[in-house]
Amino acid sequence: MADTLASATGLLAADGTAEMEWFAMGYWLIGLSFGVSALGALVGLACVVHGRRSARFRPVWLAAGAISIGGVGIWLATAVLLLGVAMPGTVLRYDAATLGVSVAVVVIAVFAGLVIAGRELRLPRLLSGGVVMGLGAGLMLYLELASADVQGSVDLSVWLVVVAAVIAVIVATACLWVFQSMQLLAARVGTIVLFAVGVAGVYYTGVAALGFTVDDAAESPAGMQLFDFVFPMFVLGSLALALPITAVLVAPDRRELAAVDPAPRPVLEPAR
């Protein structure tokens, strides 16, 4: 019974001979992933707010927000959790090209979702934006998992990935709705927490779809170690967050500037 339950939750390989470890590097990865996801959402939403205030630079702000939310808040957070996945008796390798495509997919999807959602709360646009963002996150997760290879075979349950995509759509739509409809600080904090928890939920639902069969007679897996890809991306992600953080800090609040009456010009009397 215990073996059956473990296999159903993705803890056993498909042949039931070895356990797949989800937390091989320790449970601290959960906290790190949550922090990365929350920080990406915080910076990204700040960029979206500034994008509302500037029609001229709105595409730039939204692009920065998409990189922060999609590239850091979603992709990097799930990649950090994926570092904890290990398979005793073999090594995991990942295809760098597929991982790179997964990054691009989620960033583009988040950018498109933000553009579609618009500045104001309009239900049809909000729902459409949430669907685009959620499906993009689901496709990203599928590509992440599909990039894995072992000495043997990899099984990926598509229906669990679909469930993860549905969860991503719900989370993205809920976050957009809370962000656009509520301006209180507590609501903004709630949006960030909901986002980070949702990203973790999407990841664990998707990774449960993974199953490995180890075959000592098979060829060694091709590809690279995940850490060798994630660490440079972690550095790039930190730089990607530093730029919009700096821009947000130095950007003037245009609404406050617009509310300030310009100083009256002195009236010059004609010379006599």
Q: Express each pLDDT in 216-242 by its tens digit.
A: 777 888 889 999 999 999 999 998 888
DSSP 18: S
Q: What is the pLDDT of residues 248-262, one digit of tens each?
A: 777 655 444 444 444
pLDDT of residue 251: 66
pLDDT of residue 182: 80
pLDDT of residue 166: 96
Name 21's bridge partners: 86
Query: Is the confidence at residue 3, as pLDDT, over 50?
Result: no
Please state, in angstroms and rounded to a whole number, the distance separating the CA atoms of residues 74 and 135: 13
Q: How confident is the model at residue 269 (pLDDT cuts 50, 70, 90)?
A: low
Please state, in angstroms and rounded to a whole number, the distance separating the CA atoms of residues 11 and 21: 7
The single-letter code of the amino acid at 90 is T
Query: Is the confidence at residue 125, as pLDDT, over 60?
Result: yes
Once rounded to an integer, what is the mean pLDDT over residues 5-33? 66
DSSP 217: T
Q: Locate 96 and state its tokens.
A: 């760098």
Q: Locate 75 and state its tokens.
A: 């992709």
Once rounded to an integer, what is the mean pLDDT over residues 59-73? 94
Q: Locate 108 and state its tokens.
A: 């583009």
Query: Is the confidence at residue 157, as pLDDT, over 80?
Result: yes
pLDDT of residue 187: 85
Which among 99, 102, 132, 134 has a CA at the least distance from the CA of 117? Answer: 132
Residue of 12 and 207 predicted with greater confidence: 207
Note the helical H segments in the chain: 2-8, 28-53, 58-66, 77-82, 96-117, 123-146, 158-181, 185-207, 226-250, 254-259
Please state, in angstroms and rounded to a whole number, the distance separating the CA atoms of residues 35 and 67: 16
pLDDT of residue 7: 38
Greatest mean pLDDT among 2-16, 17-31, 36-50: 36-50
CB 240 within 8 A of CB 68: yes
Q: How confident is the model at residue 50 (pLDDT cuts 50, 70, 90)?
A: confident
Please state, in angstroms and rounded to a whole number, the distance separating the CA atoms of residues 138 and 156: 14
Q: Locate 62 and state its tokens.
A: 């939204």
Q: Locate 214 and state its tokens.
A: 């180890």
pLDDT of residue 79: 96
Q: What is the pLDDT of residues 91-115, one digit of tens each?
A: 899 999 999 999 999 999 999 999 9
Is residue 156 helix, strand or coil?
strand
